């Protein structure tokens, strides 16, 4: 789904949600990188960094084919920023561009006051992420090492995870 969003103009929009450490930012940045590799203009914006001036920040991104917006929960309860995101969402949709979102909870679980914004975010394909436990992180580490021609035994993986 993220690959499609990065490379196809008509792909579903995506809303990633999960706790800290679940990989949301990593996936957004990877999707932006993939879009750029495919020759598409793409940008990443952590909403926390644009609070109070979100309308201007988003306006600067409107020409991008793919925009990844992180930390949606940061704007909850901030009327001007919620309105700016709602308006940006609609303009990007009308222009046929893609927007990817990430937040620490599903849209209807955030403390967003603008219900129309919640409705728009709920229309995105949603992916719920969970952080990996130690066994999952160890397996991922072994897979990455294997792709590089390295063999890690269990003791080495345990040491690296510590």
The whole-chain average pLDDT of the chain stands at 93
| Closest by Cα among 78, 70, 69, 80 to 111 | 78
pLDDT of residue 53: 96
Please report the pLDDT score of residue 143 as a whole number: 87
| Complete DSSP assignment for 26-51 | HHHHHHHHHHHHTT--EEEEEGGGGT
Q: Which residue has the tokens 């001036």?
A: 53
Measured in residues, the chain has a length of 162
**pLDDT tens digits, residue range 18-56?**
998 899 999 999 999 999 999 999 999 999 999 999 999
Residue 8's pLDDT band (boundaries 50, 70, 90)?
confident
pTM, two decimals, is 0.84
What pLDDT, in 10s, does the model give residues 110-136? 999 999 999 999 999 999 998 777 887
| Mean pLDDT of the 81-96 span | 97
Structure tokens at 78: 């901030």
CA distance 100 to 114: 19
What is the pLDDT, as a whole number, of residue 139? 84
Three-class secondary structure of residue 130 per DSSP: coil
């Amino acid at each position: 789904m993220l690959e499609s969003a990065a490379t196809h103009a008509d792909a579903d929009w995506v809303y990633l949600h999960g706790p800290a450490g679940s990989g949301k930012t990593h996936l957004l940045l990877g999707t932006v990188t993939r879009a750029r590799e495919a020759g598409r203009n793409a940008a990443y914006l952590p909403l926390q960094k644009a609070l109070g001036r979100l309308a201007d920040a988003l306006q600067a991104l409107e020409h991008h084919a793919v925009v990844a917006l992180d930390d949606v929960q940061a704007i909850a309860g901030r009327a001007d920023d919620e309105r700016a995101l709602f308006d940006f969402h609609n303009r990007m949709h009308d222009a046929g561009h893609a927007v990817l979102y990430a937040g620490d909870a599903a849209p209807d679980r955030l403390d967003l006051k603008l219900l129309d914004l919640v409705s728009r975010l709920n229309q995105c394909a949603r992916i719920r992420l969970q952080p990996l436990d130690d066994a999952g992180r160890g397996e991922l580490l072994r897979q990455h090492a294997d792709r590089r021609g390295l063999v890690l035994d269990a003791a080495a993986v345990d040491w690296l995870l510590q």
